Chain A
């Protein structure tokens, strides 16, 4: 089986989240205006979330809670009644970048992929959509 392309196309929510993070860095004085506009452009023209996330990948991690924005990157717990599992989410949050790490969850039998939130580099376990 050939490795599947783990890239995810950047949508509005992804861009919004990354711009929010950039704004936070700018507000904390970690970026000057030139740098900021260059990074904003990177986010806006990127086709994939990994290209967009590159705009913040070399910045220090924001201390304190990362802003999540309206349509948010906070992990959604599983179905009601299902015990919440470590790092488990039903779907990827805004701005998350898929990794090549993939495995079959022994409890749910779902193929699960690891996604990374560029804001704090936390890892999240998201079942792959059926195809």
Chain B
């Protein structure tokens, strides 16, 4: 693959809440050892959402590919989770 042009950063951001009822469920789950499935589901969903938004933004820049894509996340308060997917939007040509 050859990169023809670098179009700069493309990112997709989503802030999600777990919801009060699920939070309580997850709180009980968190007391014992193991996976907290409520959070796995929330974060999996949020990552998809962030990736989709990033791809949409990259298309607006005229890109046909994104390189060096990363996820980042942080918490806003105790209830909200922010997920951001970012990478470099490029115009790439497949190797012939």
Contact = CB atoms under 8 A, between A and B. Distances in A.
Interface in B16-30: none
Contact of A123 (B41, B44, B46, B55): B55
B44 A105 contact: yes
Q: Which of A85, A86, A106, A122 has the most CB of B within 10 A?
A: A86
Nearest to A124: B52
Interface residues of A, number: 10
A11 interface: no
A87 B52 CA distance: 9
A106 B48 contact: no
A107 B52 contact: no
Contacts of A125: 48
Interface in A117-131: 121-123, 125
Contacts of A122: 52
Given A121-B59, A123-B55, A107 B48 contact: no
Nearest to B14: A86
Interface in A93-131: 105-107, 121-123, 125
Contacts of B79: none
B45 A85 contact: yes
A64 B69 CA distance: 30
Contacts of A106: 40-41, 44
Interface string B31-71: 00000010011001110110110011001000000000000
Contact of A107 (B41, B46, B56): B41
B73 to A, nearest CB: 16
Contacts of A105: 44
Interface of A: 85-87, 105-107, 121-123, 125
6 contacts: A86-B48, A86-B49, A87-B52, A107-B41, A121-B59, A122-B52
